[in-house]
Structure 1
C-alpha cells in the first residue's frame, strides 16, 4: 500500500515519544493518585475496625503477594456477612498496599493483562456509585457499614468518613483516565508490532483476511494474545479509505504540547513538602485507636494496684482534698544515638493529653482540602520545612514512647493478665512507614533544591 512505510515510520516515532511522556509525566501522577486512593481507604478501614463493624484478620500481616489479585466479588450469605466481608476488605487493603509500594509503573510492565487486574481492583468497590439501593454485593455491604459508622458518629469520625469517600471518588476518576492513556498506547503498540512482524510478510490481499492473519500470527508472535478487534482496526486503516483513520491514530498518539509554562519553581517544591506533611498527617487516622488500647492497658495496670494500702491512701487523699497521685510508668527504650538502653518515667495522663492534641493536628495535616490545606498553600518553603521537621521529630518521639509502653504493659501485666493486654505492633509499623514516607519527601525536597542551586551557579535556568 502506497505510503505505508511512511506511516509506520511516523507511528514508530510518535509511539516512542508517547512512551517517554507516559513514563516521565503521566505514570508518576497515576502512582500518586493510587497513594491518595489507598490512604483514603486505610482511614475508613481503621475506623471500621475501631467501631467493631468489621473483624481484624489475624493473618493479615503474614500474606505474601506475588501478583495483584482482585478479592472475591461474588454474593455471600447474610449469615457470613461480617466474617466474609472483613476478609475481603483485609485482602483489598493488602492488594492496594502491594500496588502502591511494590508494583512497577512503566509502559513495558503495565501490559493489557496487568491493566485488567488493576481495573478490577479499582472497581472492586465502585466508590463513584455507592447508594443504599445497590445490588452489587461489595457495594451493598460497604453502604451498610458506612451507614452504621455514620450513626451517632463523633465529629472526627464523620470528617474521616466524608473526606475519605470524597478522595476515593475523585481519585477513581483520575485513575481510570490515566489507565486509559496506557491502554490506548498498548493498543497502538500491539497494532504496530502486528504490522511489522506479521502483515509485512503477507501480500496485500492476504493482509485483509482474518484467518490468514491469525495463522501467520501463531508462528510469528507465539505466546502473545490474538485480539481480533485490533486486527479488524488495522484492516480498516489499510483500506483505500483508511487514511483518515491512520491520521486519527497519529493525532491521538502525538504527545500533547508540553512546552514549559511560567510556573514558579517554589510551587513544585512546596508541593513536595505538603506531600510530606500529608504523609506524616496520615498517622492521625489511627492514633485514636492506639489511645483507646493504651487506656485499657493503663486501667489494667491500675486495677492490679487495688491492695489495702492503695485504697487507704486514696481515702486519705480524698479527705485532705488532695489530687490523686499521677499515673507514672517507668519504661525503657533503646537510644539509637547512644546505642544504650534509657529509662524514662512517663506521666500517662500528660502523655495521653499530648497524644490527643497531636491527633487533631495530624488530622488537619492529612487533609488535601479545607482551611488547614489552604494555610499550608499560603506558607513559604522555610515555614513548611520547619513544620515538616517538627512533626517528624514529634511523631518519632511518640513512636518511641508507644513502643516502650507496649513492651512495659506486656511485661508488667503478669502471666494471668497478659492475654488482656492490647498490643499495638501493627499500628507502630504503620507509623514507622508514615515517618519513612515523610522523610523521603523531606530528602527529595533538599536534593531538588540543591540541584536547582547547582544549575543556577552554572547559569542554567530551571525552566529550560
Structure 2
C-alpha cells in the first residue's frame, strides 16, 4: 500500500470513527452520567432530609463552567456535616452541569478533559463504597448512609443500596468508554499530523520517504506552523515513523485500520427487537428520584405556613388548638389563594387550594414514588408486570399530576414571599431549588416517554408499508 493511499484510508477511518463516538458512544456516556446524577441526588437529598449533612447556603450562587471534582482533604469530626454537605453539593452541581450543558464530543474531550472526568469519577468511589475506604469522601458518605440505614424501613434501605449499586455500574461503563476514547485520541493526533503537516505543500514527501530521520525532520520543521499550540509528542511521532518505515509496516498499517473499524451492527440490530417496555420502566424509575425533593418542599411549605399562622396566634387561637388536640377534633381547613401562571399564554389566574389536603397529597406522592422507583419494591413489581399500554397510561398520568404539582408549588412560592408581614418575610424559605430539581426529573421522564412513543409510531408506519424486520 502506498503511503498516500494509507494516509487517505487512515484519515477516512478516523473521521468515520469520530462520527461513531459523537453519535453513539459519547451519547451513552452522557446517559450514564444522567443515571449517576439521579442516584447521587437521591442519596444527597436523603442525607439532607435526615439532617446528617448541612445544605450549602451558596449552592445557587456558584456558577459551574468546568469539570472540577470536590475536594478530598481531611477535616475534623465537628466539620463533617458542613464539609460533606458542601462537597456533595459541589459534586451534584458538577454532575448537573455535565448532564445539561457539557458537550460530549471527540473535539471537546481532549486528553486533558478526559483526565478531569476521571478525577470526578474517582472523587467518590461508588465501586469501592465502604466505611473502610481510604478515600475520605467515600468513607464519610458510606458511614453516614450506614448510620442512616440503621432502624430504617426495608424500602429506604433498598433505595440506598440500589442507588449506590447503579452509580457504581454507571462509573464502570463511563470509565470503559473514556479509556477507549483516550486510545482513539492518540490516533486522532496522528491523523491530524498526516492531514495538516504531511499534506502541507512545503512538506517534502520524497525526503520523508528516504529515511525515518528525514521524515521526522520534515514533521518537526512544519509542526508548529501547522499544529498551533498542540504539544509535540515524541512517542506518537515515532509511531507514525514506524507505520511508514518499519520493516513490518504493512502489518502495522493493516492492524491500525482494523482497530479503527466501526462494527457494522445493522444486520444484528435488524433481528433484535428493541425492548420498548424497558424504555417505559426507565421513565417509571425516574420518579424514584423525586421523594427527597418532594419531602424537602413539603417541610419548607409547613415552616412557611407556621410563619403565617404565628402572625395571628392569639391566646384564644392557642386555646382552640389545644382543645382540638385534646378532643381529637380535626384542624379547621386552611385555604390559600395562590397565583397560577399559564406558560402557553403567560397569563396569571388565582386558584384556591386546601393547604392540609395538598400536604397530604405530597406525603402520599413521596411514599408512592419511593416504591415505584426501586426494582423489587412491591409497587414497581406490580406495575412492571402490566402491559405496556397500562404502564404508559400510568407514566402519562404521573407526568400530568407532577406538572400540576409544579404549578401549585410555584404558586405557593410566590404566595409565601408576599403574604407575611414585612418583618417576617426573611423567615420564609424559597422553593426554587426543589422546583428546579423536580422539573428536571419530569423532563427526564418525559424524554423517555417521547422516545417510547416515537419508536411505537415508527414501527406502526413501517408495518403499514409492509416492512416488518426494520
After TM superposition, is the score higher than 0.5?
yes
Are 1:225 and 2:225 matched, yes or no? no
Spell out the pairing of 1:307-322 with structure 2 (5 A cutoff). Answer: 307-313=314-320
Please state how far the C-alpha of 1:431 moved relative to its aligned partner: 1.4
User: Which one of 281, 287, 297 corresponds to residue 290 of structure 1?
Assistant: 297
Please state how far the C-alpha of 1:75 moved relative to its aligned partner: 4.5
User: Which one of 343, 349, 352 corresponds to residue 344 of structure 1?
Assistant: 352
Once the two structures are overlaid, the 10-residue window that deviates more, 386-395 or 224-233, is 224-233
Partner of 1:63: 62
Where in structure 1 are there 5+ consecutive unaligned residues? Answer: none
User: In the aligned structure 1, how far is the partner of 2:322 from the partner of 2:75?
Assistant: 57
String of CA shifts for 1:348-395, please: whole Å, max 9, x gaps.
1x3333222211221233336655555554433322221111101221
Where in structure 2 are there 5+ consecutive unaligned residues? Answer: none
Please state how far the C-alpha of 1:91 moved relative to its aligned partner: 1.9
User: In the aligned structure 1, how far is the partner of 2:182 from the partner of 2:90?
Assistant: 26
Alpha-carbon distance change, 428 to 179 in structure 1, aligned in 2, over 3 angstroms? same
Please state how far the C-alpha of 1:396 moved relative to its aligned partner: 2.0
Partner of 1:125: 124
Once the two structures are overlaid, the 10-residue window that deviates more, 40-49 or 18-27, is 18-27
Partner of 1:360: 367
Are 1:169 and 2:168 matched, yes or no? yes
Kept in 2, the 8 Å contact 1:207–1:213? The answer is no
User: In the aligned structure 2, how far is the partner of 1:4 from the partner of 1:154?
Assistant: 68
Alpha-carbon distance change, 160 to 286 in structure 1, aligned in 2, over 3 angstroms? farther
Please state how far the C-alpha of 1:24 moved relative to its aligned partner: 3.0
Please state how far the C-alpha of 1:47 moved relative to its aligned partner: 1.9
Partner of 2:20: 21
Partner of 1:31: 30
Are 1:263 and 2:272 matched, yes or no? yes
Alpha-carbon distance change, 139 to 324 in structure 1, aligned in 2, over 3 angstroms? closer
Could you state the TM-score of these two structures normalised by the residue count of structure 2? 0.85
User: In the aligned structure 2, how far is the partner of 1:432 from the partner of 1:309?
Assistant: 42
User: Which one of 400, 404, 415 corresponds to residue 397 of structure 1?
Assistant: 404
String of CA shifts for 1:151-181, please: whole Å, max 9, x gaps.
4445454333212211111100001112223
- Aligned CA RMSD, in angstroms, stands at 3.2
User: Which one of 277, 284, 295 corresponds to residue 284 of structure 2?
Assistant: 277
User: In the aligned structure 2, how far is the partner of 1:279 from the partner of 1:180?
Assistant: 28
Kept in 1, the 8 Å contact 2:39–2:164? The answer is yes
Kept in 2, the 8 Å contact 1:199–1:207? The answer is no
Number of aligned positions between the proteins: 458
Spell out the pairing of 1:29-428 with structure 2 (5 A cutoff). Answer: 29-76=28-75, 81-198=80-197, 201=203, 202-207=208-213, 213-238=219-244, 239-258=246-265, 259=267, 260-265=269-274, 267-268=275-276, 270-313=277-320, 323-334=329-340, 336=342, 339-348=347-356, 350-367=357-374, 372-373=379-380, 375-428=382-435
Task: Name the SS for the 1:331 alignment partner.
Answer: strand
User: In the aligned structure 2, how far is the partner of 1:367 from the partner of 1:208?
Assistant: 64
Partner of 2:438: 431
Alpha-carbon distance change, 358 to 64 in structure 1, aligned in 2, over 3 angstroms? same
User: In the aligned structure 2, how far is the partner of 1:379 from the partner of 1:17?
Assistant: 42
User: In the aligned structure 2, how far is the partner of 1:315 from the partner of 1:70?
Assistant: 52
Kept in 2, the 8 Å contact 1:17–1:255? The answer is yes
Once the two structures are overlaid, the 10-residue window that deviates more, 130-139 or 36-45, is 130-139
String of CA shifts for 1:45-83, please: whole Å, max 9, x gaps.
112222233322222122223332333344456665544
Once the two structures are overlaid, the 10-residue window that deviates more, 334-343 or 54-63, is 334-343
Please state how far the C-alpha of 1:305 moved relative to its aligned partner: 4.9
User: In the aligned structure 2, how far is the partner of 1:144 from the partner of 1:438?
Assistant: 32
